[in-house]
Chain A
């Protein structure tokens, strides 16, 4: 089946630093990747949609200059959290639609802790 590999699975960083999260589609080409954020005891909220070769589209309230998304190839999308702050601590997870009929595949998620 279609697999998205997400790395790192967890990261701890200092305030003010940047963190890059990668999602790779291993056995299919993902022209679009969806990025979600999940705060503790809350649901997954869509942050942005990345499209290969073009600019990402961001949901209302998500700072595009803070959450940089790059989708330079059909198999790699990255999310960089710049100048991270403790309030950015969250679970970040990527997803791609696979084929038709409602199929989606998810990365395993990245737990970001900013100290």
Chain B
């Protein structure tokens, strides 16, 4: 089952600008993760944030999590053309449960 929504569905920005993508989910979670997928390729794990964390940074990535609103955001700063890809949030619960993916945001960074 699909966990939640991501917005925007598509985002087009100029190189150097920041890109913000949002994700909402429906049930309680243990962790929320963000993945990147280049067209027709596999998934690349970007960052994981635990349910008791509010913000996390990794290089040009900044992730926030608001469990009261069941939402997360991914900020990519100083975007590059190579950041062009689809970005998905995914949540997991306790035990040996699968990741549940959001609908994703297609990011286009124009050089």
- Give chain A's interface residues, CB within 8 Å of chain B: 31-32, 34, 36, 41-46, 49, 59-60, 91, 93, 95, 97, 101-102, 104, 106-109, 111
Residues from chain A with Cβ under 8 Å of B41 in the complex: 108-109
Residues from chain A with Cβ under 8 Å of B103 in the complex: 42-43
**Residue tally, chain B, CB below 8 Å to A:** 24
Residues from chain A with Cβ under 8 Å of B88 in the complex: 43-44
Chain B 59-111 residues near chain A, CB threshold 8 A? 88, 92, 96-104, 106
Known A-B contacts A43-B88, A107-B42; A49 and B106 likewise in contact (beta carbons under 8 Å) = no
Known A-B contacts A102-B50, A104-B92; A46 and B100 likewise in contact (beta carbons under 8 Å) = yes
Residues from chain A with Cβ under 8 Å of B102 in the complex: 43
Inter-subunit contact A45/B2 (CB<8 Å): yes
A109 CB to nearest B CB, Å: 5
Whole-angstrom CA separation of A102 from B92 in the bound complex: 7
Known A-B contacts A46-B1, A102-B48; A32 and B42 likewise in contact (beta carbons under 8 Å) = no
Residues from chain A with Cβ under 8 Å of B92 in the complex: 97, 102, 104
Residues from chain B with Cβ under 8 Å of A107 in the complex: 42
Q: A102 is contacted by which of B2, B33, B40, B43 (Cβ under 8 Å)? A: B33
Inter-subunit contact A46/B98 (CB<8 Å): yes
Max chain A Cβ within 10 angstroms of own Cβ: one of B2, B42, B45 = B42
Residues from chain A with Cβ under 8 Å of B48 in the complex: 101-102
Say yes or no: is B18 at the interface (Cβ < 8 Å to chain A).
no
Whole-angstrom CA separation of A34 from B101 in the bound complex: 13
Inter-subunit contact A93/B43 (CB<8 Å): yes
B19 CB to nearest A CB, Å: 18
Whole-angstrom CA separation of A42 from B104 in the bound complex: 8
Whole-angstrom CA separation of A109 from B43 in the bound complex: 9
A6 CB to nearest B CB, Å: 8
